[in-house]
Chains A and B, each alone.
Chain A
Amino acid sequence: MGRSAAVAGIGATIQRLLLRPAAKAVLFATCLLPFAWLFYGAWADRLGANPAETLIRNTGDWVLRFLCLTLAVTPLRQLSGWHALARFRRMLGLFSFFYLVLHFLSYAWLDMGFDLDAIVRDIPKRPFALVGFAAFLLMLPLAATSFNRAIKALGAVRWQALHRLVYAIVLLGLLHFFWMRSAKHDFGEVAVYAVVIALLLGWRLGKAWIARRAH
């Protein structure tokens, strides 16, 4: 009895903390840390022998990480009952997009020198790049409809259907990473992301299946 009350107390405290106005600011600053580190590293020449590669790889890593965090919000919220977590989903999703833009820009700039012709020739030539670029294109409408008035204009049902594209995006991202690493026969990290993404998507499939059976 006393124990469950204590647990409930902790839960309520966490909820309260999550609802604080400062929580969003703290999260925002935290999400900018990888960017700040890469920016400083590029400026101070601390990114190793091949800084362009470091930038492209690292921004790509952060896209996958932020996509996983975004997709973790709903399962975590429902499992823990901390419904205040929902406040952070949009910001995490937009940070996924932010790092994806940085990832694409570092490729387009550092590898291709913003040579549009070269980029247009390069992407379709390499399936792995094509898949990554498709994920980038799919993310554009999601980022463009991330504000409240867009939700209102589209209607919640259509908006939600559109934003289910995130499942395709994360799978394309995983395939992109897998293909990149397959050249090196190095699947350790890919496997970690695959398991995390499988859990996040599997949980949703499970919920949908249970909901259908209930009807």
Chain B
Amino acid sequence: MHFRPDRGFTHLASSEITPRAAYAQRRDLLKVLGTGIAGAALAAWAQRDALAQAAPPGKLAALPAVRSNLPGAIVMDKPTRLADITSYNNFYEFGTGKADPAQNAHTLQTRPWTVAVEGEVKKPKVYDIEELLRLAPQEERIYRLRCVEGWSMVVPWIGYSLSELIRRVEPTGNAKYVEFVTLADSKQMPGVRWRVLDWPYVEGLRIDEAMNPLALLAFGLYGEVLANQNGAPVRMVVPWKYGFKSAKSIVRIRFVDKQPATSWEKAAPSEYGFYSNVNPGVDHPRWSQATERRIGEDGLFARRRQTLMFNGYEAQVGQMYAGMDLKKFY
């Protein structure tokens, strides 16, 4: 048996994710299997996870939160390791490679930071990040994250529903869409020097999508504030859509009456639609969307797992798309 390098985390709420009885039973089963040769291999694999649980936490500031009781906000899947969540990122402002953001994002200055909330609202306001942090109670929510590239993670985010902020600025009747704008400062973000995308990064949601309580304004993960490469100091998390719909390091939230021109849609309209709901039935030209690889959990030789409609959040969000042709509005 050989031991793998420990790249794990401490997750304070781990016992809440999987009921103790369930994992105790699983461990007993593993012990039984452990008698065979195949079982020995499985036991080594299981031990790897056990080791990961004992690892020290990260080094960022703690961000206390209460467990969310919103339906659908806590999935039962095992959270992805912090080391994987913070080292495997798509954040082109820091480079197009998956490892680039972790390497380059240290130059991002997250204080002072303001978020301008403007457009079709009665009470536009430039929020200081400290005020945003205290705007509503911080909740821990464990969401699946499905990347359009065919991989997925499970992330214990900390934040609150975007609707909390939306209600406070009082959108007008013309506010049909919400646009999110990411910082684009080439001094802090080396990737912005290359015109891979039309900077700044712009994403958008329909107003009813933005008001859906699952749409999360996130400030942290794993009990700490967000690492820069994960979109510090504030980002969106829209768990039923492909990851790129969730803008990172947001500086502007704008309420508009027309569908915003989003960055990836502008770059390749036939590949990335405005809605980009997770949908195993609509393939990307370069990737099948029917299956996905769960980072850190599905071993090298494990079968990919089936992708779920709306990433498994159909019960919570499906009704918003009733009657829409999702092949057309991909």
Contact = CB atoms under 8 A, between A and B. Distances in A.
Interface in B271-304: 271, 283-288, 293, 295-296, 300-301, 303-304
Contact of B5 (A45, A110, A185): A45
A125 B151 CA distance: 19
A48 B96 contact: no
B151 A53 contact: yes
Contact of B268 (A44, A52, A129, A185): A185
A50 B286 contact: no
Interface string A100-142: 0000000001110100000000100111110000000000000
B98 A128 contact: no
A128 B285 contact: yes
Interface in A159-187: 179-180, 182-186
Nearest to B87: A49
Given A113-B304, A183-B271, A185-B267, A48 B196 contact: no
A125 B197 contact: no
Contacts of B286: 126, 128-129, 179-180, 183
B142 to A, nearest CB: 18
A42 interface: yes
A187 to B, nearest CB: 9
A113 B303 contact: yes
Contact of B99 (A42, A48, A51, A182): A48
The B interface is mostly helix, strand or loop, or mixed, namely: loop
A127 B285 contact: yes
B170 interface: no
Interface in A34-53: 42, 44-45, 48-53
Contacts of B287: 126
Interface residues of A, number: 28
Interface in B94-129: 96, 98-99
A44 B96 CA distance: 26
Given A126-B285, A185-B196, A185-B268, A50 B304 contact: no
Nearest to B89: A49
Contacts of B185: none
Contacts of A183: 268, 271, 284-286
Given A122-B288, A125-B288, A49 B84 contact: yes
Interface in B73-88: 83-84, 87-88
B288 A45 contact: no
B88 A50 contact: yes
Given A127-B285, A185-B196, A52 B296 contact: no
Interface string B175-201: 000000000000000000010110000
Nearest to A43: B2
* 3 nearest A-B residue pairs (beta carbon): A49-B88, A49-B84, A186-B96
Interface of B: 4-5, 83-84, 87-88, 96, 98-99, 151, 194, 196-197, 267-268, 271, 283-288, 293, 295-296, 300-301, 303-304
11 contacts: A45-B4, A49-B84, A110-B301, A113-B303, A113-B304, A125-B283, A127-B285, A128-B286, A180-B286, A184-B96, A185-B197
Interface of A: 42, 44-45, 48-53, 55, 109-111, 113, 122, 125-129, 179-180, 182-186, 188
